Each structure stands twice: as C-alpha cells, then as structure tokens.
Amino acid sequence: MEPTLAVIGLNFRTSSVAVRERFWINPARRAAALQQLVRSEGIDEIIILATCNRTEFILWAGDLPTAADSVLRFLGQEYQITLREWSHFYRLMDDAALTHIFRVTSGLDSMVLGEPEITGQIKDAWALAQEAGTTGRFLDLVMQKALTVSKRARTETAIGSSAVSVPYASVELSRQILGELAGREVLLIGAGKMSELAAHYLIKAGADRVKVMNRTAVRAEELAAKLGATPVSFERKLEYIRKADIVVSSTSSPTPILSREEAQRIAREREHKPMVMIDVAVPRDIEPAVRDIKGIHLFDMDDLEQVVRRNAAGRQAAAAAAEKIVDAEASGFRGKLLAERVVPTIVALRQRLDDLCRQELDVLRKEFGPFTEDQDQAMSALTSHITQRIAGSLARELKGSPERAEQDVLTAAVGRLFHLQDQLAGAGKN
C-alpha cells in the first residue's frame, strides 16, 4: 500500500461544543501526543491541529486503514471514545484531504468565514510538529503550499475583510440583553487573544470599565496595560464576577472554573440583576447549567456560531472567489504531490541498481582483473551511466502518471521487479 495524505478530525460542522471539548488536546499534551502517534502503526508523519472549533490529525500514512485504527486507539486510551462519538469524525484522503487543508488554512472552513486567526494556528501546529520531529518532506511540502494558497486567497479576494468574528458576536449578544453598553463593567477571565479581541470590541461599543484576571498575574498585567484596563487577582474571582455586567471567559483550564452553585450564589447576591457571560473556551470554563439561573445569560461557542452565521451571508461572493483559487491550486499541486510520493521508490531503485552494478564489477575484477586505473574508471563510468538511464526512465514514468491508481500499479511493479520492499520498509519511519 502506497503512502496517503489524510485528515481525521471533527469540527464545529460535525459536532457541538460539548463533543469538541471532549477531544480537545491540551497544548501541554500535544508534543507527547504527536510523538506517541508517529510511533504508531501506519503513521509516517503527523500534525495535530487543535482549536476551539476543531481537532484534526493531519497524516502522511503508509497504511491508511491501520493509521486510522492507531488514531482511534489513541482517542480510546486518552479520551475513552465511544463508537457513537467516532461517528462525528470525518476521514478524508488524497485530493479531498488536500483541498480540505487548503480550505481550512484559507479560512473557508471556519466558523467565522475568512478568519485570520486560523493561519497562525496552522503555523503553530506545524512548528510544534517540526519541533517534535513528527513531520517530514511530505507534510512540510503540503503545509508550505497551504500557507501560500491562503496568502493568495486573502490577497486576491475580500475573504479576509470585515469578517464578523466570534469576539464581535459577543458584543451583539451583550447588546441584546443589556442594551447600550456605555458604562458597563467588563471582566476578562484569561488573557489570551480571544479575550483581547473581545475587549477591543466591547470598549469600542462603549464599555469603559474593564478588568483582567489570569492565573498568571504577569499576563493579566500585560493585557491590562495594552487595553488601558485594570488587572485584578484571580483568587478573588467570584467577587469580581459578581460586580461585572459582562464576563468573557477564555482560559485553557481542562475543567470548569465557575460552577452552577457558585453562579447561583452570585445571582442571589446581585438580586438577579441581568448579566452576560460569554464562554469562548474549549473545554468550557462555565458549567452549562448556569444558563438556567435567573438573571444570568450564558452564551457559549454554539450560540456565538449562530450570530456569526447570520452575519456571513453577504460574504458569499468573496468566498466563492476564494474557493476557485483553492480548487485550482489543489488541482495543480496534486501532480507535485503524486510525484513526491514516488521519491522513496526512486531513491531505493537507484541504490538497488548501484548495488547490482557494484556487485557485477566486483565479479568482473576477480575473473578478468586486475585492470589498469583508466580501465577501472571507464567501467565504473559505464555502469553509472546505465544506472542513471534506467533509473531516470523509470522515474519519468512514475512521476508522470496522471492518476494515483496507475502510479500505484507502476510503483508496486517496480518494487517487485527490483526487490525494493525491504529498503522501502526500512525507510518508512525515517
């Protein structure tokens, strides 16, 4: 079985936030997960893309069915996945996988159509895989091209302009509940990019009392300085939540930081005065049952998605233009990727031919030698020329195959004729 580009994952289209948070891989765990998976059967190279909207395993798989089983085993060991949950995962290969990667990187498969953040997330995922040693010539080639395609799509179309983002959606929802936001007090829990963007929009909408808290106080102080806000202590979390009109929570905590019981107590102390809680974390920071408490209006990523979709209708023309660019680039790159797939076979073939010629020259020297230095060099040059001609001819046939199926047949035939299986198996994980 020849190597295959594949994507196994789930996203906001195939699963709710409740499912996505189950399989979100903590940043601190990703490097170890990459190294564990790259040692698994069927997987030659791997990148993990984990955001609030998706968890995807981007694979260069020597044996795709076996690689998929390895991913399933990993999810079973780490997250006790059920077969019903496995149904939320899509499994894409070859052209479909390539187009998907290009679409994701270009912001065409995002909750916020054309969002710029995904490009940085892709770069970070690729860099982590390179650092962990789990990506090589094939995925590096794909990711480099994906970023080039993304740049072209954003430069040549309006896909990235005026995107209605998740942070901006928090302003719309806050206005629906509280009316005008002038003079409202905002508490940011977590000092990440999502909190910063939400704060910018809320301040622009009139909120002028912004407080920032984070488990790491230095990060809270840094973001507060950028926003002209006030850093506050995470240890006094409940006190500051009680005082806020709008709470935006975006931490990387693996468990909720605000329980229903705590929120119930806060609502009572506020005499059920309306407040908005925006939970943009995955896994969620605020227990979902909080939305049932009188006076507290809780919105999570699923709610924000609905706002974003309502505002995305006018961006379809730009999206259509970007889709054409992605399709054309994927079609053009397909041939290069097909050619790259056979490089290990060509390298193994050249080595095999060199070994055969060297063996025959050794026999010739023993039977008819010794030869003069000029004679020996002439024979070596002749065998090298023959090797180049044969390997070059076969390489052109393998790389020039227009379809994968035809290429697979030719590659398998070359492997059997020249007994390359052992060499290729040994190179599979290198």
Q: In the predicted model, what is the mean pLDDT of residues 282-304?
A: 92
Q: How do the domains of the chain map onto residue ranges?
A: 4-162+315-332, 166-311, 342-427
Which candidate, 198, 375, 163, places its Cα nearest to that of 277? 198
* pLDDT class of 426 with cuts at 50, 70, 90: low
Q: In the predicted model, what is the mean pLDDT of residues 37-48?
A: 95
Helix (H) or strand (E) holding 280: none
Q: Given this model, what pLDDT does residue 164 score?
A: 60
* pLDDT class of 408 with cuts at 50, 70, 90: confident
Helix (H) or strand (E) holding 8: strand 4-11
* pLDDT class of 12 with cuts at 50, 70, 90: very high
DSSP string, 73-113: HHHHHHH---HHHHTT-EEEEHHHHHHHHHHHHTTTTSSST
Q: What are the tens digits of pLDDT across the range 147-172? A: 999 999 988 988 876 556 677 788 88
Class of the domain covering 4-162+315-332 = alpha beta
CB atoms within 10 A of CB 80: 9
Tokens, residue 339 = 């050619």
Q: In the predicted model, what is the mean pLDDT of residues 160-187?
A: 82
* pLDDT class of 319 with cuts at 50, 70, 90: confident
- Protein fold of 166-311: Rossmann fold (3.40.50)
Q: What is the mean pLDDT of the chain?
A: 87
Q: Given this model, what pLDDT does residue 8 score?
A: 97
Tokens 């925006």 label which residue?
278
Q: In the predicted model, what is the mean pLDDT of residues 219-236?
A: 92
* pLDDT class of 306 with cuts at 50, 70, 90: confident
Query: Active site residue: 46, 52, 75, 275, which one?
Result: 52
Q: Given this model, what pLDDT does residue 425 score?
A: 62
Q: Given this model, what pLDDT does residue 257 score?
A: 94
- Tell me, yes or no, if 357 is annotated catalytic: no
Q: Given this model, what pLDDT does residue 89 score?
A: 96
Return the percentage of the chain with pLDDT > 90, whole number: 52
- Residue 410 sits at the vertex; the CA angle it makes with 406 and 413, to the nearest 5 degrees, is 140
Query: Does the pLDDT value for residue 392 go beyond 80?
Result: no
Q: In the predicted model, what is the mean pLDDT of residues 269-283?
A: 93
CA distances, 119 to each of 151, 328, 333 (Å)? 9, 20, 19
- Residue 51 sits at the vertex; the CA angle it makes with 181 and 173, to the nearest 5 degrees, is 20
The helix-helix angle for 343-368 and 373-400 (nearest 10°) equals 160
* pLDDT class of 313 with cuts at 50, 70, 90: low
